[in-house]
């Protein structure tokens, strides 16, 4: 979970991505520009009821400001699962930000706005407010203040919304949505990736696919040379790397079996079996990001074999 948070923060920390997320999902208009953003603190301190001073950490925050004043503090919290007490957590984050304004004796009080991004395959329908988690007697409800939160389900964003993103977050939103639907095909996503390492690391962590580790150096080197990097580049490098590993493993197995069997055909049989198994391993690693048809074509396996790996 901690590693997921780090990769999310890495990508969202870029101002163009941060502004894009807010403009498309929250404001639904081009309200803020990346040059109007300034890095905010992700750590705040507060005094607990028992008198101890405690730390609290946001995932990502930035000040939205004009040349003279802070207009707002914008924060993003990332979730990999639906959390029942999220409204209370957001209340805590927002309170400490307001408290910091008081302690710093800010001349002008500015609003604090927190957005929650849900990256799970479970749609977050509730809780969306304090009322959703409190058991309030009917006669007391008029006297209890509600607290609403802004939650967006990344893997459920409609295509119309995803097409409005101008930053690398479109690539991420397309990946999570189409992966959930089982229709992801990188060949259909030819958008150039600007923050290559951040996007690669984020997808690597959420797919738990170690093949991304193996292609990272090659991808970053291509990017440094000025090559255009897309999701198709990721898929091609993953396939090539997987097949190379399979070939090497096949030769190794073939040599071992050839010696064991003591026949001239031993190496050939071992190579074939080893390569077949490694192709299956490569295909299995690609299940979370590619469709069955694309995997079958790239790894050179029968489509029915690929489909059987999902069962």
Q: SS3 for the chain, per residue?
A: CHHHHHHHHHHHCCHHHHHHHHHHHHHCCCCCCHHHEEECCCEEEEECCCCCEEEEECCEEEEEECCCCEEEEEEEEEECCCCCCHHHHHHHHHHHHHHHHHHCCCCCCCCEEEEEEECCCCCCCCCCEHHHCCCCCCCCHHHCCCCECEEEEHHHCCHHHHCCCCCCHHHHHHHHHHHHHCCCCHHHCCCCCCCHHHHHHHHHHHHCCCHHHHHHHHHHHHHHCCCCCCHHHHHHHHHHHHHHHHHHHHHHHHHHHHHHHCCCHHHHHHHHHHHHHHHHHHHHHHCCCCCHHHHHHHHCCCHHHHHHCCC
The predicted pLDDT at position 210 comes to 73
The predicted pLDDT at position 40 comes to 86
Q: Is pTM beyond 0.85 here? A: no
pLDDT tens, N- to C-terminus, the chain (311 residues): 555 555 557 899 999 999 999 999 999 999 999 999 999 865 544 444 454 444 456 788 999 998 888 999 999 998 989 999 999 999 999 999 999 999 999 889 999 999 999 999 999 999 999 999 999 999 999 999 999 999 999 999 999 999 999 999 999 999 999 999 989 888 889 899 999 999 988 887 777 777 777 888 889 899 999 999 999 898 888 777 765 544 454 545 555 555 454 444 544 555 566 667 777 877 787 776 677 887 888 788 888 888 888 87
The predicted pLDDT at position 187 comes to 84
């Amino acid at each position: 979970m901690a590693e997921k948070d780090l990769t999310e923060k890495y990508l969202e920390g870029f101002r163009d991505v941060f502004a894009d997320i807010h403009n498309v999902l929250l404001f639904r208009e081009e309200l803020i520009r990346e040059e109007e953003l300034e890095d905010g603190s992700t750590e705040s301190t507060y005094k607990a009821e028992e008198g101890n001073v405690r730390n609290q950490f946001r995932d990502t925050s930035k000040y939205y400001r004009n040349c003279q004043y802070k207009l707002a503090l914008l924060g993003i919290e990332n979730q990999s699962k639906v959390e029942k007490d999220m409204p209370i957590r957001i209340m805590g984050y927002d309170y400490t930000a307001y408290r910091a304004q008081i302690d710093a004796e800010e001349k002008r009080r500015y609003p604090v706005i927190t957005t929650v991004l849900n990256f799970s395959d479970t749609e977050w329908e509730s809780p969306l407010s304090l009322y959703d988690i409190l058991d309030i007697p009917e006669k007391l409800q008029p006297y209890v203040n509600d607290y609403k939160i802004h939650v967006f389900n990344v893997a459920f964003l409609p295509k119309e919304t995803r097409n409005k993103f101008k930053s690398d977050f479109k690539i991420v939103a397309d990946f999570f949505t189409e992966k959930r639907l089982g229709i992801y095909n990188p060949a259909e996503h030819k958008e150039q990736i600007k923050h290559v390492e951040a996007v690669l690391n984020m997808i690597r962590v959420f797919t738990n696919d170690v093949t991304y580790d193996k292609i990272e150096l090659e991808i970053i080197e291509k990017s440094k040379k000025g090559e255009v990097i897309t999701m198709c580049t990721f898929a091609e490098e993953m396939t090539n790397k997987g097949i190379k590993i399979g070939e090497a493993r096949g030769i190794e197995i073939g040599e071992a079996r050839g010696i064991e069997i003591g026949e001239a055909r031993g190496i050939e049989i071992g190579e074939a079996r080893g390569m077949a198994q490694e192709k299956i391993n490569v295909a299995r690693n690609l299940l979370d990001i590619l469709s069955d048809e694309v995997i079958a074509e790239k790894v050179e396996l029968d489509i029915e074999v690929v489909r059987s790996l999902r069962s």
